[in-house]
Each structure stands twice: as C-alpha cells, then as structure tokens.
Structure 1
Amino acid sequence: MSTEGLQTRSSVPAEQKWDLSDLFTSHKAWVKELHTLEKDIQRITCYKGTLHKGAAQLLECIKAYETYLERHIQVSTYASLHLSTDGSDPKRQHDAAKVAALTARINAQLTFIETELLEMSEEKLEQFKREEPKLNHYEKMLKDILRKKPYTLTAEVEETLATLEEVHQAPYTIYLRSKSSDMVFEPIQDGNGKELPMSAALYEEKYEISADTTVRRNAYDSYMHTLEKYKHTLAATYATEVTKQVTLAKLRGYDSVTEMLLQPQEVTLEMYENQLDIIQSELAPHMRRYARLKKEKLGLDEMRYCDLKAPLDPNYNPKTTYDKAREIIIDALKIMGPEYTEIIKESFTNSWIDWSNNIGKSTGAFCSSPYGSHPYILLTWTDTMESAFTLAHELGHAGHFYLAHKNQTLFNTRPSTYFIEAPSTMNELLLGNYLLDKTGNNIQMKRWVITQLLGTYYHNFITHLLEGEFQRRIYDLAEKGTPLTADVLSTQKKEAIQSFWGKDVIVDDSAGLIWMRQPHYYMGLYPYTYSAGLTISTAVARKIKEEGESAIQGWLDVLKAGGTLSPLELIKKVGIDMTEPDAIKTAVQYVGSLVDELEKSYE
C-alpha cells in the first residue's frame, strides 16, 4: 500500500499543523456561518434593478458586496484548507462540496451587479463617481468589469452560466479528488533491497531529488505506473476543462481561448509568447550543458528524464531541519527590513504553516491568503534544502498578501497572475544569495548553493514553462477540433520536453504522462506566469544588490500596492519594462552564468 509508513492526519503533532481557529473557532462555528451566509445574500440581492438610480445606491451595494465577499472567502478557505490536509476524509469532502454548491448559488444571484454595471453608460458611471467620490475606491473593480463589456452575454445567460459554476469546476474537483483519494502507489526498493513507502508527496518532495539512482528511478517507475492506470479518466477530465474554455471563448466572441484567458491578466499576446519562445530557445543550450555535467559527475550510463533533479554532488547534501531552516530563512530575509521580517517570524510562531507528511495530504505547496485573516502555507517537509527554498517561496506569497491586505481594501488586493509569482521567487533568490555570501572559500558549499538556485530556475523556467508550452499546443489542437485523448496529451507533453532537452536527455514515453501531475492546467494560463514572475524577481534582485535600500523600499511599495495597478505599471515602479524581451534575455544569461560557475568549479 502506498500509505504504509505514513501517519494519519489525526496523529500529526500539533506543532506541524496550521491553526485554523483564526478563521473559525470550531467546525460548529463554520457551519453556522455557512448557513448565515446563505440567508444574508438578501442583503445584496435587494439592490437588484436599482444600481442605475443613483451614486449612493451603487456605493451601498458595492460596500455590502465587499463585506459579504470577505465572509464568503473565509468560509470557503476554511473548507479548502481542511480538505488539502486530508483529501481522503469523507467529512472534509462533504464540507468542500457544500461550499461549492453554495458558491454556485451565490454567484448566480449576484450576477446582477456586473450585468447592471455593464448596462450603464460610461458617462453615467463617471457622473456617479463625481457625485460620490468614495466610488473611486472601487476603481479597479469597476475597470475589471468594464473590460468584459464587449464579451458579456445577456443577463439571463450570464445568470445561467453562474448557476452552472459548480459544474464548470467539476474537472478540477475530479482531478484533485482522484489524485488525493484514489491513487495508490506501489512501495519501492532502494539499492540494498530495502522496501520504502511510496506516495505522490514522497516522490515529488523526496525521491525525485534522491542521490540514490536506484531509488530515484524505481520511484519514477512506480509513480508513472500509477499515472498510467488513470490516464484515460484524467484525459477525459482535462479534455472537458479545455472544451469548456474553448466553448466559452467562442460563446463570448473572443478571437481565441488564449485571448480570453490573457484578458484578466492584462497581458498582451506578445508578452505571453515572449516568455514561452525566448526562454525555450535561449535557455535550452545552458540547461543541456548542465545535464551533461550531471551525467558526467554522477557517472550515469545515460541521463534520463527522471535523473534531471538528481543532486550534482551526492556526497554533499547537508541536512536541514525545519527549525534550522526557519532560522536561515529569517536571517536571509532580514534584508527586506523590519516590517517584512516580523511577518516572516509571525508565520512561524503563530502556526500559519502546515508542514507534516500524512495520508491524504495535498502534494506540492501553496499559500492561501484569505482577506480579513492571515496567510496559510501548506508543504510537505523533507529535511532538505529543497524544502527550505519551497518554504521561502511560499513565505514570499504570504508577505506579499499580508502587506497588500494591510494597505488595500478587498477589491484592490490581488494583482494580475502575471506578477503573482514575482514576490515568491524573489525570496528564493534572496535565500540563495544569502547562502552564497556565507560560503566563504568552501567550493563544495558554493557549488551546492548554485545548484539550489538552478533548481529555482529549473522549476519556473523549465517545469512550469513547459507546462505553458503544453497548454499552448493543447489549446491550438482543441480549437482545430482535435480530440484530446490520453495518447494525444501524452504525445504533446513528451514532444515539448524532448524539444527542450534535445539529445542530451533520454525522454521515455512515460514522461509524457507528466501532464497528469499538476493541477495548474485547470487554472487558465497560469503555468507560464511562473517564468514571468522569476524574470521580474531576477531583475529586482539585481537592483537590490546594486542599489540597496532604495530598491528594497521600491519593492515593498509594489507589494503594498496589491492590485491597484496593472502588472506593467507595477513592474515599471521598480524600473523594469516587460513589453521588451530584455529582462527575459538577462534572466536567461544569469542562468547561463550559474552553469558557467559550476563548470569552472570542476576545472
């Protein structure tokens, strides 16, 4: 059984869990608020059909909606976080389903706000803002809605689509449920024949980066063997998601599904394609050199796809406990100033972080930041520096949204997803630079830290970027009417991987199943934004190194701005222009310089 050797959620020590009582003091209190929310919807629906009557009426409605939405966010976050720590628990599944059903009903009833605003002329809306200046606090919300005007359907159709929101989310729900509750992985053996427990979390957080080639390859085989069993079901699930997006794009009159998905990001097609094209073409030669170096130093018969994350120096992998990593991360981020440092410290002392490894826990890592409360971070700790970098990454999200929530109202907190990964990857770079400064003349330690930094770029410039390339291929096929079977999806994924690595890496057929690994494909054009965020943070980290305090203060101002500015405006506040390819090329060159340093260290 894949769960052998793993603890149940109930047996996880309290110090390894987050504390959700800051959201709701008890499950009973959550249930009460859930029911109250459904009743209180009338406090907003009473404004239906009246928003055109006056500025005061419109302001009252928006303020009531904002307050209601904050409560709903906390209710839904509580259920989602509970489910993420044990997706196999039927009670947690039931609670999540109840929230999903309620959300669909709420969204359907509240479509009138957007519809009535879209029916209002721009002249009238401007008049209302002059009459009631407080409406200007909601400028971002109003702009976001008005951008949809050319693509909005009739009020009746919009309400119908909102009613079907639970159905629209079904592919994502099915994917998560299948991965957390149904997938069983066979145990593996190490080089000595010892049996080891196997799970998706163990593979992704431990075995994939193991120095033991036998463990690494056996774990890969076990992982892929299980994915193979589910490929047809999950292919149908993902195909449904893609068909939904393509159909909605046509229904609303967009030229393409890509145009529809980029619109809320406020990103041009050229910016999107620059990220995909420039990184794939210009980064590949550097990373192929890195793959050849690994093959040589690890003495591998061949560099397989499953060997790419193997440590370059298997004999030097200093263990890092959670407590030690906490100290290192806090010290590394002190450069950001006292206010930011206190946020990081509080995340550790006030149980914002869930770092256990238990049955049913969601794989990977994330940070959830409900407005009106504090951020929550989930990861599976493995006593490796890889986990420390992951934790620093999620703390970047936490620090960002803590500052945005503190300085902005709810509707002004969330920036474009094009920017969203910049604060998180910034923390990874700050941690890497801090560790490099501490290495002194220790060549082996310096080499190890460089590989950690390269791990950051691998994750964002290769793993997630190739997810983005896969999406581009799949949406193109879907719009041409190609059926998205498991074989089609796997072929496209393998081709994207092989195209990047060329002849330097053996990409087996099983690698094509990697499209089943991430939930990102159910989140629109999200994967490629990791590379955009790291491109931005690379440029800002360089500015911090060169300019010091002024660059740090400028970055903090950007974090506090939340979503009040477009991504291009946010980035320009720190002197970076993402409409040109220069920042991308500079980031790629920096990765190349890291590979150069590694090669020189062995001369």
Structure 2
Amino acid sequence: MDQRLKRNQVLTEKTWNLTDLFPTRDAFVTELKALLEKASELASTKGKLAANGPSLLRALEDYFDFSARLWRLSTYVSLKQSADSSNPENQADSARVDAASAQIDTTLSFFEDELMNLDEKQLSILELNASGLQEYRPYFRKLFALKPYRLHPEAEKTIKALSEVLEAPYTIYTRSKLADMQFLPVRDSSGKTVPMSFTIYENSYASTRDTTLRRNAYDSFTKTLDAYKNTFASVYAAEVAKTVAVANLRGYKTATEYLLQRQLVSEEMYNNQLDIIYKELAPHMQRYAELKRQALGLDKMTYADLLAPIDTSNPQTTFEDSKQAILEALKIMGPEYHTIIEEGLNNRWVDYGDNVGKSTGGFCSSPYGTHSYILMTWTGDIRNILTLAHEFGHAGHFMLAQKYQKLANYRPSLFFIEAPSTMNELILAQYLKRNATSEEMKKSVTERLLSTYYHNFVTHLLEGVYQRKVFRRAEAGEALTASTLTELFNETLQGFWSDSVQLDARDGLTWMRQPHYYSGLYSYTYSAGLTVATAVAKQIEQEGEPAVDRWLSVLKEGGRITPQELIEKAKVDILNPETIRNAVAYVGSLVTDLQAASVN
C-alpha cells in the first residue's frame, strides 16, 4: 500500500502558487473560451498580413501576444498535471487544452505560410515604414531557413489538426508512468518494509548507501518496468515512426537532420558531443565505478549500485538552509540576477513536496509573461541543493531573456538550454567547497559535483548515444520491439562500462525511465550545456567580474542568435573538440581527487 501523501495533504509552502497564472479554475476556463474566440478573430487577417509594414507589425504583435496567453494557459494545466497526474480533473483539463490547442493551431496554420511567402527583399521594403519589424529579424531568419521544407498550406493545416494525435505517445507515456504504474513495497537492511514508487526510487532509493534497500528497490523497479515494456515500446516506436515520417514528408535526408535543424545545430556539433564523451569519459567512469565498489565493500559493482555514494557522512540539508546557501553562492552573478533568484525562492515558485501522482525528476517551466515554476522532490540529501540551483539556473536565464527579448526571440536552442542551469551547479559546488568546515565535507561536495557530471555526461549522454542508434535502426526499416530497444540500451551500457560494472538483461530497461525521447534530440544537449558551463565557470574563476558580465549578456540574448553564436559570445569554441576534451579531463580530475580523499 502506498504510504505517500495525497496532493491535498502536502503543506502549502511546499507547493507552487498557481494563482499567479490564474486566480481560480473558473478564470482558466474563461481564458480558454476567450482564446478560442481570439483565434477566430486572428483568422480574419488571412491574406492581409503583409499588405504593408504597419499591418505586418501589428499582426506579429497580436499573434505573439496571443501565443503568450496560450502558453500560460497550457502551462497552467501542465503544472497541475505534473503535480498530480492521478487527479481526474487535471487529466480532463489537460485533454481539454490539448484539443483546443490543436483547433487553434489548425485555425492559425496560415500565419507562417503567409510569412514564408515573403523574401529578404520584400521584408526590407516593409521595414522602411515600420521600424519595429527589425526586432523580428531573428524570427524571420529561422522561418526562412525552413522554407525549403515547408509543405503545401493544406498539408501543413492537416498536420496541425492532427497535433493532438501526434503528441499522443508522450501523453500515454507520462500517464502510464505516473498514474498507472504500481510498485511492490521493499525491505531495507533492518527488515523494515518501506513504500516504493517511481519518484521515491529515483530520488532516494537509487542513491542510498543501504545496499539491501538499494538492490531490493531496483528489483521492484525493474519488475514493474518489465511488465510495461511492450506497451512502452509500442508508444516509443510510434514516436520514432512519426518523427521519421514527418522528416521524409518535408524532404529531409534523415530524421536527425530534421531535428537538428530545429536546434540550429550541425551534425558535427551533435556527433562530437556523443562520440568524444562516450569514448573518452568511459575510462574515468570505470575508475569511478571501481572506487565505489571498494568503498562500499561490494563483491561486484552492479547497475543498481552506480548512484550509491562513497561518502559515509550522508550530509542532509533543509530547503530553508539551501535557500541561504544558493543566495550567497550566486551573489557573484550580480544584483539583477540575484534578485530573480531571491524572489523565486521566497515566493513559491518551487513545488518540492512529495505526493502520489507527482512527476519524477525536476524541471523549470518559464511561460512568457509570468515567472518560472520549478518542480522537484525534496529528500534532504545535499544533492537536492544542486538540483535546486540547477533549476534556478533555468529560471534566471529565462527571466532575463524575457526582460530583454520579445517572445519571438525568447527561447534559445535546446543545444544551449542546459548551459545556464549546469553553470549554477558548478558555481554552487565551488562555493560549498570553499566554505566546507572539514575535509569530509569537501569530499562530500566533490562527490555531489561528480554526480552533476554523471547526470549530464553519463545518464543523458548514454541516452543520446542510444537514441542515435534507435533512429538509425528505424530509418533502415527495422522494427522497434521491446527486445530490440532493450538490447540496444544494454549494448550502449556495455560499450561504456565494459567490465567495471556487471550488467544483466534487465539493465537495458533503462530506456523506459526518461521522457526526453519524446522531445526530439534532447538528451545529448545536457552534455553540450555542461561542456559550455565547464569552460565558462573556469573563465569566471580566472577573470571574475568581466567573465560574469559576459555570461549575463549571453543569457539576455535568449534565442535572438544561434547557439553557436551564443557560445562564441561567451568566448567558448564549441567546434573545437578540445573544448569537450577539457571538460572530460576535468571530470577525470574530480575522480582523482575523490580517490585521494578516500585513501586519506
């Protein structure tokens, strides 16, 4: 029986304040109706968008104002669903907005079609009597890059009309994972029976030093995953097939080319991240696995043991104490950035309690026109403070971008999106090490910092390597069955861990654990972000304020320029493989430091 709290039993201060989006559910319902009416009103501009410069500017302003309102509405139902996916009202509201969004997308599908009919020369002429159009230049640059792959307007309209169906794989995955999956309770080393859930496993049991609990929990976890493997394989196969089909329809050579163009990233940038880290980080992580095996006194290192900490002190932290540490650490980022973080920590931007139906992991949602919302589950482990800093890295980034950029230029490429978040983790870790009152505490922080690299350079990197294999198989016409997907993940794990970890067949079920596969080529971008953050953190350590100011200027750009341009503005050469190798070498130095501390 699940002993976790129901959503209405969680203390208010541990939940986010959704009234900042809509004061009541009735207000949400009213806005949904208003947006459907507004969409019909905007549809009356069809054929008239570019009659002259002022009319085009007015149409763009109205369209993006409408888009911001729709984004806030979608965020509202998404956050409610993430907080408690078992609630029937949340499920119904989510479905209602999905249906409305599909209707709206269909109604307004003409908008981008008409804009794509323009060319650079025509746009320049329209700008002559509407100077405000210049601010939309970055938007048009991205739009024009997609022109060769645009389908007939009626085909585009059909795709928009089917958006709810096309997004069904992700909906089914999350609903099954969070609302349907049940896990058998498990025993710890004392013989006590404790509750088990997806969230509890990933946030607590997977990283406990209690080997009995850790391995029993993994048994329970993988048994439930195994029971769902065929359903999840069908859902994921549908997601991949959809992506391949759309890429083919649009005339791309591969699904990878299609997905990377939306990130404004070259295949060289993509493959460098996967190939260099997979090959060159492996020896360091194999060393780390052996160090853990010895420190934990294990006869063998299994996949279930990889997240167990070496540190025996098990330092704990409260949310309140963590707030103060984060605020002190991030003073280096200057008053404007610091004020954003302070406001978020003190005004319920964060949902950190635990309850049945709550989403696993952590995320930051930043709809344009309001503040960010952060989801995580607080367990008390010191790792939580790094997770909180990570998500506030997203919040600080998007609040700055929102302040300085229009919605059309707001969101940067996925390739860059994890750089500001992982940057905060590095700044906080260095602060905690400098202020550690004992060598044991320094060792603890080093291990937690290593977990940041593990999460981004191992967990998500291996997902990226695996995803590349999946798309290659799909494009070769091979069926993606549960056994195929599991074998591919096992192959990926074996190639990385070699003999340092004793793997078995069930470890391949790891492909079922993450939702990132339903967001295009997302997983590999974590390593890209951390590669950039590692380089910039070193700049800040060496230069101080000039490097901070340069970084803040990058964050304020939002998505106005390409990810490569953003990274170059930060004075990092992402096309140089040595940039990635330097980050890998830094991870190796952390493993060496931990080895030395463990001997002492």
TM-score if structure 1 supplies the norm length?
A: 0.98
Q: Deviations over 1:353-387 (max 9, x none)?
A: 00010000001100000111100000010000111
Query: Aligned partners of 2:65 and 2:337: how far apart in 1?
Result: 27
Tell me the equivalent position of 2:176. Answer: 178
Query: Aligned partners of 1:388 and 1:562: how far apart in 2?
Result: 26
| Structure 2 counterpart of 1:531, from 497, 505, 527 | 527
Cα offset for 1:122? 2.9
- Structure 2: gaps (5+ residues): none
Tell me the equivalent position of 1:92. Answer: 90
Cα offset for 1:120? 2.3
Q: Which amino acid counterpart does residue 480 of structure 1 have in structure 2?
A: A
| Structure 2 counterpart of 1:116, from 96, 114, 117 | 114
> Conserved in 2, the CA contact under 8 Å of 1:224 and 1:510?
yes
Cα offset for 1:108? 1.0
Q: Which amino acid counterpart does residue 44 of structure 1 have in structure 2?
A: L
| Structure 1 counterpart of 2:142, from 141, 144, 166 | 144
> Conserved in 2, the CA contact under 8 Å of 1:279 and 1:588?
yes
| Structure 2 counterpart of 1:376, from 373, 377, 380 | 373
Q: Which amino acid counterpart does residue 456 of structure 2 have in structure 1?
A: N
> Conserved in 2, the CA contact under 8 Å of 1:494 and 1:512?
yes
Q: Which amino acid counterpart does residue 521 of structure 1 have in structure 2?
A: Y
Cα offset for 1:57? 2.0
Query: Aligned partners of 2:447 and 2:327: how far apart in 1?
Result: 21
Cα offset for 1:515? 0.7
Tell me the equivalent position of 1:502. Answer: 498
Q: Which amino acid counterpart does residue 37 of structure 1 have in structure 2?
A: L
Q: Which amino acid counterpart does residue 544 of structure 1 have in structure 2?
A: I
> Conserved in 2, the CA contact under 8 Å of 1:416 and 1:567?
yes
| Structure 2 counterpart of 1:393, from 390, 394, 398 | 390
> Conserved in 2, the CA contact under 8 Å of 1:153 and 1:252?
yes
1:405 aligns with 2:414: no
Q: Deviations over 1:540-571 (max 9, x none)?
A: 00000000000011111111111111111111
Tell me the equivalent position of 1:596. Answer: 592
Cα offset for 1:126? 2.2
Query: Aligned partners of 1:25 and 1:138: how far apart in 2?
Result: 33
Secondary structure at the residue paired with 1:186? coil
| Structure 2 counterpart of 1:550, from 531, 546, 551 | 546
Tell me the equivalent position of 1:432. Answer: 429
Q: Deviations over 1:48-97 (max 9, x none)?
A: 01224222221121111011111101111101001100001110000000
Secondary structure at the residue paired with 2:281? helix
Q: Deviations over 1:24-68 (max 9, x none)?
A: 110010100001110111231111012242222211211110111
Q: Deviations over 1:216-240 (max 9, x none)?
A: 1111111111011100001000000
1:346 aligns with 2:365: no
> Conserved in 1, the CA contact under 8 Å of 2:40 and 2:107?
no
| Structure 2 counterpart of 1:271, from 263, 269, 272 | 269
Aligned residue pairs: how many? 599
Query: Aligned partners of 1:489 and 1:535: how far apart in 2?
Result: 28
Cα offset for 1:583? 1.1
Query: Aligned partners of 2:45 and 2:421: how far apart in 1?
Result: 40
Q: Which amino acid counterpart does residue 558 of structure 2 have in structure 1?
A: G
| Structure 2 counterpart of 1:298, from 296, 299, 316 | 296
1:20 aligns with 2:18: yes
> Conserved in 2, the CA contact under 8 Å of 1:43 and 1:64?
no
Query: Aligned partners of 1:141 and 1:46: how far apart in 2?
Result: 23
The sequence identity of aligned pairs, in percent, is 51
| Structure 2 counterpart of 1:458, from 446, 454, 457 | 454
Q: Which amino acid counterpart does residue 410 of structure 1 have in structure 2?
A: L
> Conserved in 2, the CA contact under 8 Å of 1:257 and 1:475?
yes
Query: Aligned partners of 2:184 and 2:328: how far apart in 1?
Result: 41
Cα offset for 1:508? 1.6
Q: Deviations over 1:403-455 (max 9, x none)?
A: 11111111111111100000000011011101111125x32222111111100
| Structure 1 counterpart of 2:189, from 177, 188, 191 | 191
Query: Aligned partners of 2:333 and 2:568: how far apart in 1?
Result: 20
Q: Which amino acid counterpart does residue 510 of structure 2 have in structure 1?
A: I
What is the 5 A alignment of 1:42-81? 42-81=40-79
Cα offset for 1:16? 0.5
Q: Which amino acid counterpart does residue 416 of structure 2 have in structure 1?
A: F
* Greater Cα shift, 563-572 or 88-97: 563-572
- Structure 1: gaps (5+ residues): none
Tell me the equivalent position of 1:128. Answer: 126
* Greater Cα shift, 170-179 or 560-569: 560-569
Tell me the equivalent position of 2:478. Answer: 482
4+ residue segments displaced more than 6 Å: none
Query: Aligned partners of 2:128 and 2:213: how far apart in 1?
Result: 67
Cα offset for 1:211? 0.7
Tell me the equivalent position of 1:5. Answer: 3
1:337 aligns with 2:352: no
Secondary structure at the residue paired with 1:41? helix
> Conserved in 2, the CA contact under 8 Å of 1:205 and 1:387?
no
> Conserved in 1, the CA contact under 8 Å of 2:410 and 2:560?
yes
Tell me the equivalent position of 1:563. Answer: 559
| Structure 1 counterpart of 2:320, from 323, 326, 329 | 323
What is the 5 A alignment of 1:222-261? 222-261=220-259
Query: Aligned partners of 2:265 and 2:433: how far apart in 1?
Result: 35
Secondary structure at the residue paired with 1:377? strand
Secondary structure at the residue paired with 1:561? coil
Secondary structure at the residue paired with 1:481? coil
Query: Aligned partners of 2:595 and 2:88: how far apart in 1?
Result: 52
Query: Aligned partners of 1:61 and 1:53: how far apart in 2?
Result: 11
> Conserved in 2, the CA contact under 8 Å of 1:235 and 1:484?
yes
Query: Aligned partners of 1:343 and 1:53: how far apart in 2?
Result: 41
